[in-house]
Amino acid sequence: MAVINTNDADFKNELSQHPLVAIKYFADWCGSCKLIAPKYRRLSEDARFANIRFLEVDAEVNEEVRKSAQVDNLPYFAIFKDGVFVGGAATSKEEKIVELLGKLS
């Protein structure tokens, strides 16, 4: 599955249509965000996580989505189950993202 770019306008719709959602929060100026992007994309194609909808959000311009997961640093990854925030982490480590995704399985 591909990583879908979303925004404040589409966020609630994405959560209502998909029971398991992972979100990567980024900013254009964030070097670590750019470095983790290929790993996040690869995880979105991993069979272990086939039932999870992978989204990414520009945290600089989407305040509603950013607040929904209490984003405090970038890159930040959050998981939602049935529209409810389950947890998140500011990290650049693939292992930490995998651990977070495991909470949705």
Tens of pLDDT, residue by residue over 20-48, are 999 999 999 999 999 999 999 999 999 99
State pLDDT tens for residues 42-87: 999 999 999 999 999 999 999 999 999 999 999 999 999 999 999 9
Active site residue 36: no
Say how many C-beta atoms besides its own lie within 10 A of residue 13's C-beta. 10
Mutual angle of helices 31-44 and 94-102, in 10-degree steps: 50
Which of the following is catalytic: 15, 21, 30, 65?
A: 30
Which of the following is catalytic: 33, 36, 71, 78?
A: 33
Among 63, 59, 52, smallest CA distance to 76 is for: 59
Give the pTM.
Answer: 0.94
Active site residue 15: no
Name all domains of the chain by residue range, CATH numbers in brackets: 4-102 (3.40.30.10)
Q: Is 74:90 a contact under the CB 8 Å cutoff?
A: yes
Q: Residues 24-60, buried b or exposed e (16+ Cβ, 10 A)? A: bbbeeebeebeebeeebeebbeeeebeebbbbbbbbe
